[in-house]
Structure 1
Amino acid sequence: MRRAFEFQFFSSRHVPTLKVLSASINDFRYDRHAHTEYAFGVTLAGRQDFFSAGTYHRNPPGSVIFFNPEQPHDGESGGDHRLDYVMTYVSPETLAPLFAAAAGHQHAGRLSSPQTLITDPVLRDAIVALTRLVRENVGSRIDQEHLLQQIATRMVQRAGRYQRMAPASTRPDVLLTRACDYVRAHLEEELSLERISAAANLSRYHFLRLFRRQFGMTPHQYVISCRIDAARGALEQGATPGEVALRYGFADHSHFNRRFKRIHGVTPFQYQQSLAH
């Protein structure tokens, strides 16, 4: 009998920050979370339903999913059929020179796209080809870099926009950014609503209201997401799951396992093992 969900992670041996997920799910729902990387995905079969950017989306086969860094989202299989999809995760630092080259400006390395669902056969085929190279460990570094350049170029050509400098921000945006920066700087310490809202110079009431409206998730969900994201990086560097659980404030190894699996579909040990092969 086929399992209700299957997740496989792969790490590129040529591009250090490039990782790939191959997933097949029937009965699994991701907790709402965000990644520090850019994420590009393609639905291969079934339908992927998810919430992001203030909207619920239904992603049919052949469509591309795109998440900017720090863009909260969840996800699950929609309809009656099994969902099969692939995702690629790439750090902003890796993509910055590719975006700049595509835009024709050396300072145009930061791209932000308002589009979450994209219908684009060229982009789709490049993502699928890149995931195949990483999953099967075939081709050379320049092959993977070429496909990444194709993806970056296509995103710049589409509705994406690059930022030569930090855009003007409203006061709530600035204050919430301070709160997020505070969280990421203190992940190994005790965090509370009082401390986080104080970092944003907001009352707890106004902080909770603004944060939920801006990010579509609670501060608690954001803290868990950030800790799991940091834990993932530590696992990739060779730290043991037990060490990571203790470092990032999880009650015990079992609690860490549950939280990690609800965002990545596998346990910390399984994630670490998958990248080691």
Structure 2
Amino acid sequence: MSNASRFEFFKSHHVPTLTVLKAAIEDFSYAPHAHEEYAFGVTLAGRQDFFSGGQFHRSPPGNVILFNPEEVHDGHSGGERALDYLMVYAHPEQVKPLFADALGHTRGADFRSHQTLIQDAPLRQAIVELARLVTSQVGSCIDQENALYRVVERTAQLGGHVQPSQVTHRPDALLGLAREYIHAHLEADMSLDDISQAAHLSKYHFLRLFRQHFGMTPHQYVMNGRVNAARAALDQDAPLTEVALRFGFADLCHFNRRFKRIYGMTPHQYQRDIAR
């Protein structure tokens, strides 16, 4: 990665789990990954190219990018100009009550956008304003909460769908068991046999279903989960070496490499950013 590529994370001092990334990219490419949070982004300059939801997307300046939780995507700069963009991450537990309120019913808490690329000036302006409040460390708690609600409200107005409250298809239910097992054992040395048995599926049938459903292999999903869990631990100022070993990375070098492919910086750089 050249020195022209820059990544900065900013953590809200007021709203738990709210984080902003400002990035300028020339020759860096994100590995396929997924976040636990909703991700609301705006392409500011250049072109943002990425694969998500079975489609290749190109986002020119002014476009909004919206990733639902657990939605697999990659990303890199497209075209000749350097890519400049920002992304706001908000954990589902933080925004579920906001979606429910915006949609007027409790099932709204399970909202998922059906659009990945959105051309909408009010939503773009709301995201940029929220990012400004967090990155500049200005405004009170109520200012940032109100700005986040404006983002959620506009997203809900633009449409999506609400997940059913109960899983009706058996494969989905079984894969849900696998997902729960993985997240409960991120600090353990789990095997493919362990995960497929938790899902009550044969190993090879499980492999095929898992990749179709989640967009990545179980191994990729486990590594992605470990990096995301490690990031949460870094937010709590846990020591780097302790975090690396706790989540199954061979050493700090291995942890650095995996973390950087998803977040564009080393764990040390990330922890330095959010400590500001």
Q: TM-score, normalised by structure 1?
A: 0.96
- Cα distance in 1 for residues equivalent to 2:46 and 2:168: 39
* Alignment partner, residue 176 of structure 1: 175
Compute the RMSD of aligned alpha carbons: 1.3
Structure 1 residues 142-180: Cα deviation after superposition (integer angstroms, max 9, x where no partner): 2211111111111111122335x5144322211111111
> Retained in 2: the 8 A contact 1:4–1:28?
no
- Cα distance in 2 for residues equivalent to 1:144 and 1:112: 22
Describe how 1:216-255 pairs up with structure 2 within 5 A.
216-255=215-254
| Helix, strand or coil at the partner of 1:51 | strand
* Alignment partner, residue 127 of structure 1: 127
* Alignment partner, residue 198 of structure 2: 199
TM-superposed CA distance for 1:22, in Å, is 0.1
Instruction: Indicate whether 1:45 and 2:50 are aligned.
Output: no
Describe how 1:152-191 pairs up with structure 2 within 5 A.
152-163=152-163, 166-191=165-190
2:170 counterpart letter in structure 1: R
> Retained in 2: the 8 A contact 1:38–1:69?
yes
Deviation >6 Å, runs of 4+: none
> Retained in 1: the 8 A contact 2:107–2:165?
no
Instruction: Indicate whether 1:139 and 2:139 are aligned.
Output: yes
| Helix, strand or coil at the partner of 2:242 | helix
Query: What 5-or-longer segments of structure 2 have no aligned partner?
Result: none
TM-superposed CA distance for 1:190, in Å, is 0.6
Describe how 1:7-156 pairs up with structure 2 within 5 A.
7-156=7-156
Structure 1 residues 204-240: Cα deviation after superposition (integer angstroms, max 9, x where no partner): 2111111112222111111110000000000101111
> Retained in 2: the 8 A contact 1:41–1:64?
yes
- Cα distance in 1 for residues equivalent to 2:173 and 2:78: 36
2:31 counterpart letter in structure 1: D
TM-superposed CA distance for 1:107, in Å, is 4.7
| Helix, strand or coil at the partner of 1:108 | helix
Query: What 5-or-longer segments of structure 1 have no aligned partner?
Result: none
> Retained in 2: the 8 A contact 1:30–1:262?
yes
Structure 1 residues 3-36: Cα deviation after superposition (integer angstroms, max 9, x where no partner): 2310000001111111000000011111111111
Identity across matched positions, percent: 60
TM-superposed CA distance for 1:49, in Å, is 1.0
- Cα distance in 1 for residues equivalent to 2:166 and 2:65: 25
> Retained in 2: the 8 A contact 1:49–1:59?
yes
1:253 counterpart letter in structure 2: L
- Cα distance in 2 for residues equivalent to 1:202 and 1:175: 8
2:5 counterpart letter in structure 1: F
TM-superposed CA distance for 1:105, in Å, is 2.2
Q: TM-score, normalised by structure 2?
A: 0.96
TM-superposed CA distance for 1:58, in Å, is 1.0
Structure 1 residues 100-147: Cα deviation after superposition (integer angstroms, max 9, x where no partner): 211122453221111111111100010011111111111222221111
Number of matched residues? Answer: 275
